[in-house]
Chain A
Amino acid sequence: MTLTQAEADAFGAELDALRNEVLADLGERDAAHIRRVVRLSRGSAIAGRSLLMFGFDPLSWTLGVGALTIAKILENMEIGHNVMHGQYDWMNDPTLDSQTYEWDIVCDSGSWRHYHNYEHHTFTNIVGRDRDVGYGLLRISPEQYWHPKHLVQPISNVMLSALFQWGVGLHGLDLTRALRGKTSRARLRRESRAFVRKAARQLAKDYVFFPLLALGNAPRVFVGNLTANLIRNVWTNVIIFCGHFPEGARVYTREETRNESRGAWYLRQLQGSANIDGGPLFHVMTGHLSHQIEHHLFPDLPAHRYAEIAPRVRAICGKYGLPYNTGSFWRQYGSVLKKLFVYALPERTAAPAAA
């Protein structure tokens, strides 16, 4: 689906107008929302860690893991990810400052700000420029070159999802590039030091510090924290994969995007992203990444606004005859899994044109 230059400009102007409308309306309500989520996440973490530390029965363990998982998911997705996008910088609140926020995950926030906010959100879905296309591990579109490692990608995907925070953390180091010798030694040292320091802190917190605080309950806390991190990993992985990989989300080549206008940039963000249908609770638990389309059009608008403006974004898309990719969780994730199987194999190059 492409637009003429004039259509793309008009499309971009309508989205710009929508964005400015929301920016002009930012205030109390947005501040109250993010602070409520922050308190919810903190409260949930305190409840979860206390249940793990002081309980002794399986029920309190399960509740504790659940509460800690919710705390981590909220902190990573609705707070950390969104705050670091600068969604709340207008508040001038140093605890919600995009440049200094540090999140509860092994990925160092400085490296995340660079490769996510800058690389991924600027060069979204451009094969070769946006490393989030398959994360250097998976082949999710025919435009990516096939490699024998892709044969096992249904399995590597399961492993990636279980260890997702490590994938997110290591992604910043860009090891494939480093292995090809294209990263300067100084840069590699600097970035790996930041990663190692952050990872050590996270490991110490969940697997040494809190278990030790629990004294005799140490094993219970250790396993509880491990489980909470695991569930958080799988959940974030699944939600994020539904953002750009479902059927209908397309990728771009560098040539296509040369000298791209603002309207064309918007168009690429729209066509490269996919939403998941759901209720308000579901949206918060995904950090509103279930509104991936709105997030990619407007990455620095407070995320809880996405659901409100979604009908209008959809109407604008309809006006220009553009598809708006949304569907149930199972439909979107199902199509991701299907792609993982289909593109595990190379294309039959000599396939005859459709008869």
Chain B
Amino acid sequence: MQTATSFWTTPWLHPLNDVAAIDDLLAQLHPTWSLGRIKARVMRVVVETPDTKTFVLEPNRNWRGFRAGQHVGVEVEIAGVRYQRRYSLSSAPSAAPVIAITVKHQPGGKVSAWMHDHLHVGSALTLEPAAGSFTLPSPLPARILMLSAGSGITPVMSMLRALIASAAPLDVDFVHVVRRPENAVFAPELAHLAATVSGLRVHHYYSASGGRLDVPALTRLVPDCDECAVLLCGPTSFMTAFRPHFAGRLSEESFGAPIVAPDAASATAVEILCTRSERAFTASGDTPLLIAAERAGLRPRYGCRMGICHTCSCVKRSGTVENVLTRKLSSEPNERIQLCVSHARTDCTLDL
């Protein structure tokens, strides 16, 4: 496979093997034709709530499938600029050949707004392969608590659908936190599943009336929650509230920008040298390198800006940076780092 790939892509065959040119031509002929890229056609658009839509997509043959809970890269072009975002798949793998993403229109969110306004039945979309380690534990635990808040419901919904499709005996409590009843996505389907699937209990918790959900309130909803394996997904503050309590029995995924406590030692300014652009800039230790580089007028590629997609990944030639998500230090030369979640700890040289 390796040799075959390098044979077909060798520069010695150029321009006959110019994949970009051939793909451009194929795209003119049919919107989802491509040699290697995943292109999908929008089959259906479901309005879930006033600010959330589900896009049911049929990907072309380059799609390699996914596991429930994983996310998919979506590439859109808005006013000439390509943007990449990752969205959790909300459908079950068994729904193939179609897949679904459920997208909340984020206030001020460029890509989600564009998708809500411009994606209609028949539109084509470019995807990146599914990825992510937030999936159903294997072997399946006997008692499962699925705990989600806001948009965090999407990967958990995918897992629930996958569990039901597998026809295995269930013992699942599905707790979903939203502000108000009208914000609850998948509510009719969840009500229907709760009524028809034995072993599934669905609890909606409305924070506008009940206040923030905490461990005691959760225990009132699910008295034996301490005996469950927990699948947790929601915004950062939500995760922080439950993470310590369920430590050790937890699979999780969070979204939202990482919150970093700046401490005096790490806030020192360091000098960053960029070898490709032959530029230098100063970064303070409490600013992600991506933002520091942008402030200096550089335009590194980026996607999620929260450490998931690796679009901004770049080779660090020297120096030490800290990944603020993992708290891991990278000091080895020539390591790939993610600019959006890396803070410089010493002077660095980047392949940027």
Contact = CB atoms under 8 A, between A and B. Distances in A.
Contacts of B18: 42
Contact of A95 (B20, B77, B79, B83): B20
Given A42-B21, A95-B20, A26 B80 contact: yes
B299 interface: yes
Given A42-B21, A95-B20, A118-B278, A90 B81 contact: yes
A93 B82 contact: yes
Contacts of A93: 82
A45 B18 CA distance: 13
| A86, A92, A93, A102: most-surrounded residue (chain B CB, <10 A) | A92
Most buried by A among B13, B15, B301: B15
Contacts of A204: 12
A149 interface: no
B299 A89 contact: yes
Contacts of A255: none
Interface size class of B (residues with CB under 8 A): 20 to 34
Contacts of B271: none
B276 interface: yes
A56 interface: no
Nearest to A113: B276
A45 B80 contact: no
A91 B81 contact: yes
B14 interface: yes
A31 B80 contact: yes
A201 B79 contact: no
Contact of A92 (B13, B20, B81): B81
Interface residues of A, number: 27
B24 A39 contact: yes
B11 interface: yes
Given A45-B15, A201-B11, A92 B301 contact: yes
Contacts of A31: 77, 79-81
A240 to B, nearest CB: 23
A209 B16 CA distance: 10
B14 A91 contact: no
Give chain B's interface secondary structure class.
Answer: mixed
Interface string A204-227: 110001000000000000000000
Nearest to A300: B299
Nearest to A97: B301
Nearest to B302: A92
B80 A28 contact: yes
Interface in B12-51: 12-15, 18, 20-21, 24
Contacts of B21: 42
A30 interface: yes
A278 interface: no
Nearest to B11: A201
Interface string B68-90: 00000000010111111000000
B80 A91 contact: yes
Contacts of B24: 38-39, 42
A118 B276 CA distance: 10
Nearest to A200: B12
B15 A99 contact: no
B79 A28 contact: yes
Interface string B184-228: 000000000000000000000000000000000000000000000
Contacts of A128: none
B237 to A, nearest CB: 31
Interface string B297-319: 00101000000000000000000
Nearest to A89: B299
Contacts of B14: 201, 205
Nearest to B13: A209
A27 interface: yes
A72 B214 CA distance: 66
A92 B276 contact: no
A201 B21 CA distance: 19
Nearest to A197: B11
A92 B11 contact: no
Contacts of A38: 24
A26 B18 CA distance: 28
A78 to B, nearest CB: 16
A27 B80 contact: yes
Interface string A101-136: 010000000000110001000000000000000000
Contacts of A99: 276
Contacts of A201: 11-12, 14
A107 to B, nearest CB: 15
Contacts of A113: 276
A91 B82 contact: yes
Interface string A11-36: 00000000000000011111110000
Nearest to B79: A27
A312 to B, nearest CB: 23
A161 to B, nearest CB: 26
Contacts of A118: 278
Contacts of A28: 79-80
B80 A30 contact: yes
A114 B278 CA distance: 9
A209 B12 contact: yes
B25 to A, nearest CB: 8
Nearest to B300: A89
A118 B80 CA distance: 27
B294 to A, nearest CB: 12
A92 B82 contact: yes
A114 B82 CA distance: 27
B7 to A, nearest CB: 14
Interface string B250-276: 000000000000000000000000001
11 contacts: A26-B80, A30-B80, A31-B80, A38-B24, A91-B81, A91-B82, A93-B82, A99-B276, A201-B11, A205-B12, A209-B12
Given A92-B83, A93-B82, 7 more contacts: A38-B24, A42-B21, A91-B82, A92-B82, A102-B11, A204-B12, A205-B15
User: Nearest 7 pairs between A and B by C-beta?
Assistant: A31-B80, A27-B79, A92-B82, A95-B20, A27-B80, A28-B80, A28-B79
